[in-house]
Amino acid sequence: MRWHGDPNWLIDDPEHRWMLSGEADRLRSFFAQPSGWKRYGWRGFDGSVDAERPLELYSAARLVHCFGIARMLGDEQAGGWAAEGVRLLLSVFIDPRGGFLDIVAPDGSPVSGRRNAYGHAFALLAGATAVQAGLPRGAELLGRAREAIDELFWDDDAGAAVDEVDPQGLPVSDYRGQNANMHLTEAFLACFELTGEAEFLKRARRLAERFVITGAAPRGWRVPEHYTREWEVDEEYGREQPLDQFRPFGVMPGHALEWSRLILGIAAHDPSFVRADEAARGLFTRAVQDGWDEDNGGVRYTTDFHGAVVGSARMHWVIAEALAASVWLARTTGDSGYADWYRRFWDWTNRHVIDRVGGSWWHELDADNRPASRTWPGKPDLYHAYQAVLSARLLRPAGFAAAAHHDL
């Protein structure tokens, strides 16, 4: 396998493509056991499921999305897992008072009465994928998720979604954030690619304009994470929790990379988005300038608004988004510099992130590239790594389900 120092090792190298296909299979196999709803539980480092830990909406919906894509790529076993997950979302997670429960205990009872836009964004994405994959009750899942977002979360005046609501759709805190809205952007694009409904594309662009063009561009393409109730940037939020899983203090280079990919996806459908190329390039450049460790490799977790490192851990989802963004930029711009970054990212991932003994990818490394678990214990996530290994197979910016259906 050619990994180091080979100038001919490019995104479309046949040997690399062969490796990516095998890695996709290996990642899915980590979730082969156990059967039933336990498959959707939190996994430890060895792949075993923590039977005492509650099930979470975002995590279960991500797996449905990934397994649905796998079915479209010919894995019927994964298709069975996806169908199993759709049933789970439409039974245990459905709340008759509205929307989906965010967290349920192992016995299926609710853990919290709040509704979170983050989890609902992934339920919508899972629904769009389920329909494209031809899964039973996929349309029902999509409809339920769409209805919940429209009725509980979407603020059309703001052009964004609130983060947390009660079952009646009333906000339960003054916090507003970009993370859930970024994932809603991905889900809206998937729904547009499925249905052709202009409203989905319109919402995706409105979100990009709010959080990237208005929020990040004036700050040198550093993406503000946290906002007040009036949608003003809150640069102090999270100072006491700098390594939080979802709301850490400061700026997250990984989200700039994720937005870079999403911006290109919007522009692929909306040529009038004239600042898309500038934004995608600016976000990527800022992320690697602030986040990439020239000595040890890897993209750091968080910085402040001046680029100083706050959290030096390396999260697997960040390098996964770096891989995807570099592919999409290389394809859309023709700039070989992005292919060079892709090589560099994969070289580091191959050396440090892929766990060839225990399976899957290490979800967190420390600044010296050693496995850690301060923020992310275990290996519960397939979504980021799986999409990363599929990225090089995409010939144009598109949602992964749409690409699996038409191009891959």
- The residues that bridge with 292 in the sheet, in sequence order, are 299
Say whether 171 sits in a helix, a strand or coil: strand
The active-site residue, picked from 65, 255, 363, 405, is: 255
Beta carbons of 164 and 175 less than 8 angstroms apart: yes
Could you give the CA distance from residue 176 to residue 170 in angstroms, rounded to a whole number? 13
Q: Which of 16, 120, 384, 405 is catalytic?
A: 384
Side-chain-side CA neighbours of 73 within 13 Å: the count stands at: 22
Q: For residue 303, report the phi and psi dihedrals to the nearest 5 degrees.
A: -135, 175
- Provide the angle, in degrees to the nearest 10, between the axes of the packed helices 179-195 and 198-208: 150
Give helix then strand counts, H and E, for the chain: 13, 12
Concerning whether 120 is annotated as a catalytic residue, the answer is no
**Cβ 42 vs Cβ 85: under 8 Å:** no
C-beta separation of 44 from 34 below 8 A? no
With tokens 């678990």, the residue in question is: 373
- Sequence-distant (6+) residues with CB within 8 A of 115 are 95, 98, 99, 100, 101, 102, 148, 152, 153, 164, 165, 166, 167
CA atoms within 13 A on the CB side of 237: 20
Residue bearing tokens 């919007």? 266
Q: Is 56 helix (H, G, I), strand (E, B) or coil?
A: strand
Taking alpha carbons only, the member of 307, 287, 285, 301 closest to residue 365 is 301
Closest among 96, 120, 122, 94 to 108, alpha carbons compared = 94
Q: Is 212 helix (H, G, I), strand (E, B) or coil?
A: helix
Rounded distance, CA 399 to CA 388, Å?
12
Kindly state the tokens that stand for 218.
């004036």
Of 215, 309, 293, which Cα lies nearest the Cα of 256?
215
End-to-end CA distance of the chain: 23
Q: Which residues are catalytic?
A: 255, 384
